[in-house]
Amino acid sequence: MMKIEKVVAKFYEGLEQHKLLGRKCPECGAIEYPPRYACNTCGYHATEWVELSGKGMLHSVITPATLNADPWNDKIGPYCYGLVELEEGPMFNCTVFGIKRKQAKLLRDKLPIPVHAIFAERDGFTTVFFEVDELPK
Partner 1 sequence: MVKGKLGKYSRSVSIIGIGATPFCDTSEIPEYRGLTEGEFFGHAALMAMEDAGLEPRDVDYFYHGSANPKFFNNAATPNMQVAEWFGMRGKGSIHHSEACCSGYVGLEEAVMDVASGAHDIVLSGCVEMSCGLPVAGKPAHIRRPITTDEMIPDLEAIMDRAYTRALGGGHIGQDDWMDLYRQQYGLTDDQIDLVLNTMSYHGRRAAALNPLAMLRTPFEELAKEAGYDDPMEYLSSPFNPKTTMYLRVTGNAQSADGAACCIVCPTEMAHKFKQKPVEILGIGSSCLELMRPHNEMEITKEAARQAYEQTGLTPDDIDLLLVNDFVLASQLCAAEEVGYLPRGEGWKWVLEGRTAFDGDRPINPHGGRTSYGHAYGASGMADVYEAVLQLRGQAGLHQVKNNPKTAMLRGFGGGQNCRIPILRVLD
The candidate with the shortest Cα–Cα distance to 132, out of 90, 88, 92, 78, is 78
127 forms part of the interface with partner 1 (CB under 8 A): yes
Which 3 state secondary structure label does DSSP give 104?
Answer: helix
Near partner 1 by CB under 8 A: residue from 21, 54, 56, 129: 129
**Nearest residue (CB) to partner 1, 3 versus 108:** 108
49 forms part of the interface with partner 1 (CB under 8 A): no
**C-beta atoms surrounding 102 within 10 Å:** 9
81 forms part of the interface with partner 1 (CB under 8 A): yes
Q: What are the φ/ψ torsions at residue 37 (nearest 5 degrees)?
A: -65, -50
Near partner 1 by CB under 8 A: residue from 16, 48, 51, 70: 70
Residues 5 to 34: which contact partner 1 by CB under 8 A?
8, 11, 34
H and E: helices and strands count for the chain? 2, 8
- Minimum CB distance to partner 1, residue 43 (Å): 4
Question: Dihedral, CA atoms, 72, 114, 42, 37, nearest 10 degrees?
Answer: -40
100 forms part of the interface with partner 1 (CB under 8 A): no
- Measured between alpha carbons, how far is 56 from 86 in angstroms, rounded to an integer? 4
**Nearest residue (CB) to partner 1, 100 versus 125:** 125
Residues that bind partner 1 (CB under 8 A): 8, 11, 34, 40-43, 60, 62-68, 70, 73, 81-83, 91-95, 105, 108, 122, 125, 127-129
